[in-house]
Structure 1
Amino acid sequence: MTKPRAGYTLPVFACASAIAALQHLQNNQNNETVSFDLIEPSETVTIPIQQVAKINKNTALAITISDPGDNLDLTRNTPIWATVELRENSDKNEQEQIIIKGGEGIGKQIKSNNKDAIYSYANKLLKHNLKQYLNPTEAIIITIILPEGKKLAKRTSNEAFGVIEGLSLLGTSGISQPLSSPDQLNSYQQELKEKAKQFDTLVFCLGENGLDLARKSGINSQQLIKTANWLGPLLVTAATEKINAILLFGYHGKLIKLAGGIFHTHHHLADGRLEILVSHGVKMGLDNAILQQLLDCETTEEALQLLRKIDAETNNTFTEKIYQSIVETIDKRTQLYIRKYVDFDVNIGSIVFGRDRTIIMSSKTGKNLQQQLTTQHE
């Protein structure tokens, strides 16, 4: 088996586009590639340039194409545009020499006054690499554009975590590791085996938001395992290593898949989230009209808000009943999944949280495990 190929994160392609646009403005270069420092890690990378052109005397546009490597990544082959406007830096103010903006397809952070979702690594990467091309009397405004950003964002959980209208230029590194590859699974399994030597209870977190929330809830960070989408194989590994209990801690729009027997949670492989939620609505006796409205929702977050709205208007507790049913089903389906592969009983508990990063529901076992974990860490 060939080793999975790493690629690059979106900030890298944004930086490459910006460099190509600036070089075209300064000396009319039409570079087929640009090379620059990734900073994290400290290495030089060469990125192909798809197109570059002047918009007017002081502004140029360049385009790169995203390549995340051997990753099931929805941004694969996405065009990343950067326009660079060259201006005079009359005050020779370093703070104002490079201004970075988000254009079409770059998300807005609703919890930060709709600030562009261009995070620290992207800002650092752009400023570090563009500054060397400028003399003190020059200033630039860089605008990053993702023409497909709004459309692609609908297929992510961005909105659930406060980013709307597009994608984020996120990441702490320029390298896009193949998280969905067997090589990455092996890395997670090795981490789990090491932690199994110290603990008999672990907490499985699907992503960074789950990890962060679990830490803030008082759980020992040494007992946290990031699973990405590899829940199934990691559950089996945990049972093989004789882990007695696992707390599943995740965003409801991901963890709900386990209630439907889906144990590899990447959207490229399987979905069914709304169908699972609606089936529990049927179980709880919701009217057909409400069930149809739930099926018409675009996301599970939208369905959750609809349920809460119906509860408020009708003085019902459908949300609580449905989600209690979902988390208890997650526990049962997960135990059955493990028993298919390993003759060992693992105590499973589940906690799901929503867009506002507050817990929606805990299973009975999930609540008990959380109490034990936080008490032990006090």
Structure 2
Amino acid sequence: MAETSAVSATGLTLPVWVAAAARAAVLVLQGGAAPASVELRIPGEQASRSVPVWAAARLEDGTQALAITVCDPGRGLDLTRGLEIWVRAARTSAPGPGFQVTAGAGVGRHVQDGGLCISGFARELLDLNLTDLLTVESALELEVVLPRGQELALRTSNAAFGVVDGLALIGTQAEVQTSASPDQLEMLLAQLTELASQSGFAGQLTLVIGENGMDLAHQLGLSQQQPVLKAGNWIGPVLVAAAEAGVRELLLLGYHGKLIKLAGGIFHTHHHLADARFEVLAALAVQQGLSTERIRPLLQVASLEQAWEWLASQDAGQARALWMSMAGAVEQRSQGYLQRYGCPAMAIGAALFSRDRQLRWAGPEGLRMLGHAGLSLEPLLGGESGGPSLR
């Protein structure tokens, strides 16, 4: 095992705590004593991390074991704080070595196929920390259970991205990035300064809010054409810093349920601070000339995605025009934000994606920037397939 890191086990993402519980469960299943902590190897890190284990025990028949860890995401607002993670390890009839991860109660599943929602980083983390424990006698089944997962998932946007029944096991690194904390903003500004100082920087940047936007930017090939920076919820300060750093063209790429806040002049998008999505939608609908009979139902649904689906079912063209105007309003209000702070000129384009992570709407500047990148929009109307296409 690599040298153990002195870094505290607080501030770690959910996949790390899952991996710790999984390793503890397998250790106990093989006859070891219940560990108070386990040493975890982290992809890309030389030193291992010591992660505490709350409990671990072999079950009655001896072919199963259960281990529990308790998530500590560190400082900042994070709904996984204090979340118990249970992992049940069981021998199967299949020959080893190997293991299969299944979603137990409270763990998110993809609505399309019911499969476990887990990131590549989380899978790699499990592979890295279980390979040395696997035997040829039999493969293992690892069932992950989050007792409060389904309850907590109601406070996330998981359902908007097609994840149901609980929390997704996603994350791209070991340490939590607190998107609403001042420390996170300082780190972002440092990244931006370093990026703009590079000799090959052409003054173009794609700005995303979270992991879904980052993943889509890679899928579209935007990351191969220009740098992509994840802003978290600090959109306003990052826009100002980008303009001052010499960025000439900035593409805002984000989920429509998040970026609509910018259309209402809200430039810190964390839901704990402000949320006026439906009020902004209603104002945009009035500007577009929608009738009261059309606007009222838009304010009675549970999500912006449902508002889109309902209006598209009533009038596809009207729905598309409203959402395209939303993207245009994001561009206009963002420009106004820069002017308020006397920033250098910077073109801002907005491109919005839907819950299936398909690019659906863009403002005038966003359309121009997407066109330069070889991408165009196709509407999602009446059940047609849509999303970005290469020209």
TM-score (norm 1): 0.84
Of 279-288 and 265-274, deviating more is: 279-288
Match of 1:303 in 2: 307
Structure 1 distance, partners of 2:176, 2:100, is: 26
Listed one character per residue, the Cα deviations across residues 166-211 of structure 1 (whole Å, up to 9, x for unaligned) are 2222234333344443333233223333444533343222234334
Match of 1:148 in 2: 148
Match of 1:199 in 2: 202
Cα distance, 1:225–1:128 mapped onto 2, change above 3 Å: closer
Match of 2:281 in 1: 277
Listed one character per residue, the Cα deviations across residues 5-51 of structure 1 (whole Å, up to 9, x for unaligned) are 97212121112222333344444734332333234423322222233
- Aligned residue pairs total 364
Structure 1 distance, partners of 2:347, 2:139, is: 60
Structure 1 distance, partners of 2:131, 2:78, is: 31
Match of 2:108 in 1: 107
Q: Are 1:37 and 1:45, in contact at CA under 8 Å, matched by a contact in 2?
A: yes
C-alpha displacement at 1:162, in angstroms? 3.5
Cα distance, 1:351–1:78 mapped onto 2, change above 3 Å: same
Match of 1:268 in 2: 272
1:67 aligns with 2:68: no
Counterpart of 1:14, as a letter, is V
Q: Are 1:41 and 1:173, in contact at CA under 8 Å, matched by a contact in 2?
A: no
C-alpha displacement at 1:138, in angstroms? 4.8
Cα distance, 1:99–1:368 mapped onto 2, change above 3 Å: closer
Structure 2 distance, partners of 1:141, 1:369, is: 47
Q: Are 1:86 and 1:140, in contact at CA under 8 Å, matched by a contact in 2?
A: yes
Q: Are 1:88 and 1:137, in contact at CA under 8 Å, matched by a contact in 2?
A: no
Match of 1:327 in 2: 327
Cα distance, 1:49–1:292 mapped onto 2, change above 3 Å: farther
Of 57-66 and 131-140, deviating more is: 131-140
1:79 aligns with 2:79: no
Cα distance, 1:285–1:151 mapped onto 2, change above 3 Å: farther
1:47 aligns with 2:48: no
Taking only the aligned residue pairs, the percentage that are identical comes to 37
Listed one character per residue, the Cα deviations across residues 261-284 of structure 1 (whole Å, up to 9, x for unaligned) are 111122232222233223322333
Cα distance, 1:320–1:138 mapped onto 2, change above 3 Å: closer
Structure 2 distance, partners of 1:138, 1:214, is: 40
Give the number of the structure with larger relative contact order, counting CA–CA contacts within 8 Å between residues 6 or more apart.
Answer: 1
1:94 aligns with 2:97: yes
Structure 1 distance, partners of 2:131, 2:373, is: 48
C-alpha displacement at 1:335, in angstroms? 1.5
Structure 2 distance, partners of 1:365, 1:87, is: 56
Structure 1 distance, partners of 2:288, 2:154, is: 29
Cα distance, 1:240–1:55 mapped onto 2, change above 3 Å: same
C-alpha displacement at 1:83, in angstroms? 1.3
Counterpart of 1:141, as a letter, is E
The answer to which structure has the higher helix fraction is: 1
TM-score (norm 2): 0.81
C-alpha displacement at 1:318, in angstroms? 2.6
1:13 aligns with 2:17: yes
Cα distance, 1:171–1:307 mapped onto 2, change above 3 Å: same
C-alpha displacement at 1:163, in angstroms? 2.6
Runs of 4+ in 1 over 6 A off after TM superposition: none
Of 363-372 and 254-263, deviating more is: 363-372
Structure 2 distance, partners of 1:213, 1:132, is: 34
